[in-house]
Amino acid sequence: MKRILTGLKPSGELTLGSLIGGISGSVKYQEMYESYIFVPDMHAITVDQDSKLLKERIRKNVALYIACGLDPKKNVIYIQSENLYHANLSWILECNTYMGEASRMTQYKDKSRHKENVSVGLFTYPILMAADILLYDADLVPTGIDQKQHVELARNLAARFNNKYGDTFKLPEPLIPDVGAKIKDLQDPTKKMSKSSDNYKGTILLLDDEATIRKKIMSAVTDNEGKIYFDEVNKPGISNLLTIYSSLKNISISETENYFKDYNYGNLKREVADLVVNKLSKIQEKYNELINSNEIDDILDKGRIITNEIAKKKYDEVLNKVGLGR
Ligand code: TRP
């Protein structure tokens, strides 16, 4: 069976966009692949974090993954910083990465532009990401399109290492979900709904209460045409609402368009809000059962033990091949 591996950085709260664009995909993949899901907490500190909030969010995210349908029996669930091999392998890979190729990472260029005091970690983080992936011989890495270049870097580094030291790493492939799955900001539907947005009016958090969800959806930006159909260029707001509905209902965009064709915008929003409230209240119920339970710790302990074993084997092989240690 192919092995799939992914992680969601705990640098902000999980959103409806993370559910539809990320976690739901993993819920499907768990039926098809051997699945590894982790919290890349060491990636979060490439930018400034409040330490107390970060720690809380790591646990919250794990509870939310499970509440959203990731089955701990079908996934190995773990926290990156509980496995020291990630950072160790990253160092060895860094020594086999060229400044030129690291400098070409467009996400780094975007994130560092016009900023003072950019950390070295933000620059090298794609290499840590490569270590995250290569330690486990992952075949497939589901991510957003913004991470595709990083998975390609991991692939290049794996190939280079294999060439120099003999076959060691599997070459991973990115798995990018279909276009329909990208949820936009409700206030600016040309931008992605972001977990680190400072404008929470356009972002639905998975833990928002019912009144907040309704308010955010009812005030979503639309257009003046008054007709409901999918057109991302001219009607990004309406198209976004249709995408949310079709993804949560698991029906196609054209079925969704057809269903809403005689609605006005107010009624469309009301029905999208009903659906989102219904979905998220079920997730929140499960989350509330989990968050203070020992179950989370048991799952994470198990994940730590399994992944440390796998990673140690790979890392020892790398050490030997590179000539480190005794
Ligand atoms: N860089 C990813 C993001 O920002 C998170 C991540 C870190 C990741 N390591 C990974 C994703 C390994 C997939 C595989 O979203």
3-state secondary structure of 324: coil
Q: Domains in the chain: how many in total? A: 2
Tell whether 310 is covered by a domain. yes
Q: Is 238 in the pocket of ligand 1 (CB under 6 A)?
A: no
The CATH code of the domain that includes 241 is 1.10.240.10
Q: How far is CA 142 from the centre of its chain?
A: 8
**Residue identifier of the C-alpha nearest atom 11 of ligand 1:** 7
- Please determine, for residue 145, whether its predicted confidence score (pLDDT) is greater than 90: no
Output the CA angle 127-87-28, nearest 5 degrees: 70
Average pLDDT over residues 256-265: 97
Our answer on whether the CB atom of 189 is closer than 6 Å to any ligand 1 atom is no
Residue range of the domain that includes 237 = 200-288
Mean pLDDT on 176-187: 79
Q: Answer yes or no: do 163 and 208 share one domain.
A: no
Distance 61 CA to ligand 1 centre (A): 14
Return the ∠ at Cα 116 (arms to 101 and 157), rounded to 5°: 15
**What's the pLDDT at 261?**
94
Name 166's Cβ contacts closer than 8 Å, sequence gap at least 6. 321
Ligand 1 centroid from CA 136, angstroms: 14
pLDDT in tens, 193-243: 987 656 689 999 999 999 999 999 999 999 999 999 999 999 999 999 999
From the CA atom positions of the chain, what is the Rg in Å?
A: 21
pLDDT at residue 255 greater than cutoff 70 = yes
| Sheet with strand 3-7: strands edge to edge | 75-79, 34-39, 3-7, 140-142, 173-175
Give this prediction's pTM.
0.92
| Structure confidence at residue 216 (pLDDT) | 97
Q: List, in order, residues 6 or more apart from 181 with CB less than 8 Å away.
A: 20, 21, 24, 25, 243, 247
Residues 85 and 117 grouped into a single domain: yes
Active-site positions read: 111, 192, 195
| Shared domain check, 271 and 209 | yes
Residue nearest to atom 13 of ligand 1 (CA): 6
> Are residues 81 and 115 part of one domain?
yes
pLDDT in tens, 7-56: 988 988 899 999 998 899 999 999 999 999 999 999 999 999 999 999 99
* Most informative mutation of 42, 143, 145 for ligand 1 (most atoms within 8 A of CB): 143
Residues 152 and 301 occupy one common structural domain: yes
CATH assignment of the domain containing 66: 3.40.50.620
Residues 53 and 155 in one domain: yes
> Same domain for 308 and 175?
yes
Q: Which pLDDT belongs to residue 11?
A: 85
Question: How far does the centroid of ligand 1 lie from the alpha carbon of residue 217, in Å?
Answer: 29
